[in-house]
A = this chain, B = another copy of it.
Amino acid sequence: EPEFEPDLSIFPEGLNAEVPLVELGSVYEIIPGLKPEMLMREKMELLLKFYQKEIVAGLERADSSGKTFIVDEWTRGENMGGGITRVFQDGRVFQKGGVNFSAIYGELPPAAAQRMHANHSELKVPENGKLPFYACGLSLVIHPQHYLAPSVHLNYRYFETLNEDGTPQSWWFGGGQDLSPMYYNKDDATHFHKLLKEFCDFHDPTYYSRFKKWADDYFRIKFRNEARGIGGIFFDDLHDKEPDMLFKFVGDGLSRFLPSYLPAVKRAYLPAAGGEERPTPEAGKHWQGIRRGRYAEFNLAVDRGTQFGLQTPGSRIESILMTLPKHCSWEYNYHPGPETLEGKTVEVLKNPIEYV
């Protein structure tokens, strides 16, 4: 059984949340071997694999237990692609998490190809109705041990439909990152959103407000009328600029993951700030179980990405469902009172806030 009591003895040599902010737009200086003239597929794979390593290393350093992420490389059969699943379980700071890279080739069925044509007039559906595609992505979910430390999710992906000769036809980017605290903390939420807004603004002054609202809509458990967390950014089918400009945008998003997240994890182990109310460990663990049940509800019953994956023949179920928390609870009709710490958090989940 993990120990949830704040353990200050792990500082200063323990939980290491120090990750320098790299300069925005500097992806070509950061990633070894990356060159502007490469195919976007190659560039994205280099980028995603680079940050998979960086993020895994940063989380292992913060966990400070010596535990490491396991590696599962998998393929979907000949010439259909595969991935690198990296999973962590039962650490000192992190209870469960995964950082998964995948790159797959396939054929969109006619109905999906037609739907896509609506947004991409340049897209040509072959006579047999099946449209070859390429998709790659990095998908990440982390659930910490401590009830004061938020869960977090990040996903960035690139999609191409292909001509018969394998050259790209239509393309777009999608992704985002969002934070799910068990207990709302204004400083954590503001820091998280501030870093997202900064890198969005660097690329387009409209991105943050559009993508923040999109996240508030997307990461919502509709049937409960509450968000799964305090949001972040989300976007899909993004192809409003030159591919390389959006590539740099995604690169900057990935660079902001550790610096936007780790300070909130570290705070859980620090003494309460002045005026900060905290739950008892018993109440905290109980509420953590309930909130994680809600997280599982979102992923299993709401999230279109998960549902698409579960219904796709040949997809790797374990890589999709690694997003589920290790322990979830459901109690009948559990509604914390509005004056409790738990109830105040629910209030924020029901009514998204503008943080920056």
Contact = CB atoms under 8 A, between A and B. Distances in A.
A306 B329 CA distance: 18
Interface residues of A, number: 32
A283 to B, nearest CB: 16
Contacts of A333: 72, 87, 318
A55 B30 CA distance: 66
Interface in A94-126: 96, 98
B330 A321 contact: yes
Interface stretch (A169-177, A210-218, A238-246, A292-300): A292-300
A329 B327 CA distance: 5
B326 A329 contact: yes
A327 B330 CA distance: 7
A57 interface: no
A83 interface: no
Interface in A23-49: none
A317 B223 contact: yes
Contact of A307 (B301, B321, B322): B301
A96 to B, nearest CB: 7
A343 to B, nearest CB: 17
Contacts of A223: 310-311, 317
A70 B333 CA distance: 11
Interface string A325-337: 1111111110000
Interface string A120-147: 0000000000000000000000000000
Interface string A67-111: 000101000000000000001010000001010000000000000
14 contacts: A87-B332, A89-B332, A98-B332, A223-B310, A293-B328, A296-B300, A296-B328, A296-B330, A301-B307, A327-B327, A327-B328, A328-B328, A328-B329, A328-B330
Closest 7 CB pairs of A and B: A300-B300, A324-B330, A300-B301, A318-B333, A223-B310, A87-B332, A328-B328
Interface of A: 70, 72, 87, 89, 96, 98, 223-224, 289, 293, 296-297, 300-301, 306-307, 310-311, 317-318, 321-322, 324-333
